[in-house]
Amino acid sequence: MSTAPATFSESVEHIIDEFSVTPNPHPASEADRNALIGAPKFGTVFTDHMAAISWSRTGGWDDHRIVPYGPLAMDPATAVLHYGQEIFEGLKAYRHADGSTWTFRPEANAARMKKSAARMALPELPTDDFLAAVAGLVRTDQAWVPTFHDSALYLRPFMFASEPFLGVRSANEVEFMVIASPVGPYFSGGVRPVSIWLCRTYHRAGPGGTGAAKCGGNYAASLLPQEIAASKGFDQVCFLDGGEGTYLEELGGMNIFLVKADGSVHTPELTGSILEGVTRSSILQLATDRGHQVVERKIPVTELQEGIVSGEITEVFACGTAAVITPIGRMAGQDFDSVIADGDPGTLTMALREELTGIQYGLIPDRHGWMQRLA
């Protein structure tokens, strides 16, 4: 299925050629690399190189480079360490059966990074530079893209205030970087429904805040609630809106969907405090293609509680790049604890998961032109 050209524009190829490449003098041996790729724990193993582009207020984006992966030397006064002016992205490179390497909707990640940058008073990185950095790194470290089932090379573009300065203002110097990490199947032993704790005590974001931006601070705010959920025996935490505490928002790192008995598919609308997931928008499209009514709206948590009990809500799932689509089998909060559909993963949930991963791994046609060939 990976025969479509899906090549980059000339301008992106031109930028890829402009990257200076400093080869890692001590790359992992083939045996070490294969051992690392074979048993990766999410986010702990990194490839031989990293991509970087520097920005200054006077010079703009400059110094496109691919260099050996390694620690960054930082002045202790570097602004990001104090005020958290930082954003990031997450996408994957997938190996297809013919050996080619592809990624999924990278322009959407580039666009989201621009939006995040605007909110965090960081400079917007042009889409072509974003794509070129991702492609340049993957081409350099192609051998690190896993070949086995359900595995991928996770790509982490990020941008941070690199100016050593303690005044509270947006930085005049910024670094954009991409690192890559081979990842195995998210669920060892196959997909299983997860349990969710509905958090009423803390919010990850609020009206007018940074919830719609992919910035580190949102994740820092989600860590304590996640620990509380874990201490109660739950896999993940689900946040409610920060204004009224009435409506479902999202999980710490995934969007949420529910399916009703009439086949309609519902997800919280983008209110400004929810991250607009690339997986979320792809699912909205795939469910529409299948003829399902798709609704983005405010979903009161009471509707969820009552719907699970009455059987009107038949499936609940979470979605994001890392785990693709994850069935939710149990939801609980201070005043309720419900098992969804007897813990069954859900027919539509699993069908959407199969279709989306089929497109990503080149097993079924990419009718929306979502796949981009990297190498």
Ligand X SMILES: Cc1ncc(COP(=O)(O)O)c(C=O)c1O
The residues with which 307 forms a beta bridge, in sequence order, are none
CB of residue 282 to ligand X, shortest distance in Å: 8
User: 236-240 and 194-199 as β-strands: parallel, antiparallel, unpaired?
Assistant: parallel
CB of residue 108 to ligand X, shortest distance in Å: 7
3-state secondary structure (DSSP) of residue 51: strand
Can you tell me the distance from the alpha carbon of 265 to that of 325, in angstroms, rounded to the nearest whole number?
Answer: 14
Q: Are 15 and 132 in contact (CB under 8 A)?
A: yes
Quickly tell me which residue has 């919830």 as its tokens: 211
Which x/- pattern, by CB under 6 A, does the window 240-279 give for ligand X?
Answer: ----------x--xxx-------------------x-xxx
Which residues, in sequence order, are CB contacts of 353 under 8 Å at separation 6+? Answer: 191, 324, 325
* Residue 113 to residues 16, 90, 278, Cα–Cα distance (Å): 19, 10, 12
- Name the residue nearer to ligand X (CB basis): 253 or 307: 253
Which of residues 146, 225, 242, 320 is near ligand X by CB under 6 A? 320
CB of residue 118 to ligand X, shortest distance in Å: 17
Amino acid at 59: G
Quickly tell me which residue has 């429904």 as its tokens: 193
- Name the residue nearer to ligand X (CB basis): 320 or 362: 320
- Name the residue nearer to ligand X (CB basis): 67 or 322: 322
Q: Does 321 bind ligand X (CB under 6 A)?
A: yes
Which x/- pattern, by CB under 6 A, does the window 198-237 give for ligand X?
Answer: ----------------------------------------
Q: What is the footprint of ligand X within residues 82-141 (CB under 6 A)?
A: 90
- Name the residue nearer to ligand X (CB basis): 280 or 292: 280
- Applying CB under 6 A, what is the total number of residues that bind ligand X? 12
CB of residue 293 to ligand X, shortest distance in Å: 22
Q: Are 144 and 37 in contact (CB under 8 A)?
A: yes
Can you tell me the distance from the alpha carbon of 86 to that of 31, in angstroms, rounded to the nearest whole number?
Answer: 36
CB of residue 127 to ligand X, shortest distance in Å: 16
CB of residue 54 to ligand X, shortest distance in Å: 25
CB of residue 42 to ligand X, shortest distance in Å: 13
- Name the residue nearer to ligand X (CB basis): 19 or 239: 239
Can you tell me the distance from the alpha carbon of 308 to that of 338, in angstroms, rounded to the nearest whole number?
Answer: 7
- Name the residue nearer to ligand X (CB basis): 28 or 217: 217
* Residue 184 to residues 43, 146, 152, 181, Cα–Cα distance (Å): 10, 8, 7, 10
- Name the residue nearer to ligand X (CB basis): 277 or 307: 277
- Name the residue nearer to ligand X (CB basis): 210 or 321: 321
The residues with which 266 forms a beta bridge, in sequence order, are 258, 295
Among residues 44, 93, 90, 50, which one has the least CA distance to residue 69? 50
- Name the residue nearer to ligand X (CB basis): 61 or 219: 219
CB of residue 245 to ligand X, shortest distance in Å: 18
Q: Are 92 and 154 in contact (CB under 8 A)?
A: yes
CB of residue 357 to ligand X, shortest distance in Å: 13
Left (φ > 0), alpha (ψ -120 to 50) or beta: where does 123 sit? beta
| Binding footprint of ligand X on the chain (CB under 6 A) | 90, 250, 253-255, 275, 277-280, 320-321
